[in-house]
Amino acid sequence: MYRVLIVEDEYHIRHILKEYLSVRDIEVIEAIQGYEALEVVNDEIDVVLLDIMMPGIDGYEVCKQIRLKYKMPIIFISALSEEQNQLMAYEIGADDYITKPFKPSIIYAKIIALMKRQYFLKEDILVFGKIKLDTINHLLIVDDEVKTLAYKEYELLYYLCQHNNYLLTREQILNHIWGYDYFGDGRAVDTYIKKLRKKLGKYSCYIQTVIKTGYMFKVVEKYGNTMDNF
């Protein structure tokens, strides 16, 4: 049974989601505002469904605080449909963004898809040049310095490493990481590429930009800062 934390101040939305998910063998924990969410979130939560506009602290701040300690997927569910709101969510560590109104069936499908990918682990440490990727604990090791990866960061880097020396288009990356029903554009990919390059530091050049097409993971000997080159 999966455990989902719903952080939403509107009762009818919480009620509809709880009713729909509960009969599908998903345990639902509710929080009506950000501070309460930060009190109840723990390692046993599998997915967080997070509203933005709430009393007290908003969903963005809740997401930032959760990301300081936990790696579980976070899905924003918000009435804010503007592009800048969605980009902000991805920038701070969201794994998906769904605008209201939505169908509970879509939320359920997103949760199941995220869980299937999250628990498909390889008992191995991948080594590429000067970096290592711990596929069990979702950790990036750069020059013996361990860096924690958020769920989508890990998925993206793992996908790139699996296809090292091959060009991956933004569309391919979106379809594999965010799913075929994702309605955003390639900027979500660019945002997460920038986050990965920052964590790779001087090895950021391992992720190479192919202009107007996509990205290629390739181990190179000459290191340089290419974090903003996309």
Say if pTM beats, i.e. exceeds, 0.75: no
CATH number at residue 164: 1.10.10.10
Q: What is the mean pLDDT of the chain?
A: 87
Q: What does the pLDDT look like over 182-212, one tens digit per residue?
A: 555 668 889 999 999 999 999 999 999 998 8
**Residue 224 clears pLDDT 70, i.e. is over it:** no
Structural domains counted in the chain: 2
Task: Report yes or no on 32 lying in a domain.
Answer: yes
Last residue of a domain, one of 118, 150, 165: 118
> Residues 60, 129: one domain?
no
Q: Same structural domain for residues 87 and 150?
A: no
Section 84-95 average pLDDT:
90
Does residue 224 lie within any of the structural domains? no
On whether both 7 and 113 belong to a single domain, the answer is: yes
Pick the more confident residue, 179 or 148: 148
What percentage of the chain exceeds 90 in pLDDT?
56
Final residue belonging to a domain, choices 85, 118, 151: 118
The domain of 181 spans 125-217
In this structure, the answer to whether residues 109 and 60 fall within a common structural domain is yes
Who wins on pLDDT, 53 or 226?
53
Residues 162 and 184 in one domain: yes
- Residue 64 placed within a domain: yes
The answer as to whether 159 is a domain residue is yes
Contact between 11 and 35 under an 8 Å Cβ cutoff? The reply is no
Indicate whether 171 belongs to any domain: yes
CATH at 99: 3.40.50.2300
pLDDT at 1 over 60: yes
My answer on whether 108 and 164 are in the same domain is no
Establish if 74 belongs to a structural domain: yes
Question: What digits encode the pLDDT tens for the residues 131-166?
Answer: 999 888 889 999 889 999 988 899 999 999 888 888
The answer to the question of residue 228 being in a domain is: no
The pLDDT value recorded for residue 3 is 92
**Residues 138, 175 within the same domain:** yes
Same domain, 151 and 106: no
Write the pLDDT tens digit of every residue in 35-61.
Answer: 999 999 998 899 999 999 998 899 999
Give me the mean pLDDT over the 58-82 stretch. Answer: 92
When pLDDT is cut at 50, 70 and 90, the band that residue 33 belongs to is very high
Packing angle of the helix pair 187-200, 83-91 (nearest 10 deg): 20
Q: Which domain-ending residue is among 100, 118, 136?
A: 118
The two three-digit tokens of residue 56, written as one number: 């007290």
Does 16 have pLDDT greater than 50? yes
CA separation for the pair 33, 58 (Å, rounded)? 8
Reported confidence tier of residue 9, pLDDT bands at 50, 70, 90: very high
- Which has the higher per-residue pLDDT, 150 or 124? 150
pLDDT at residue number 117? 66
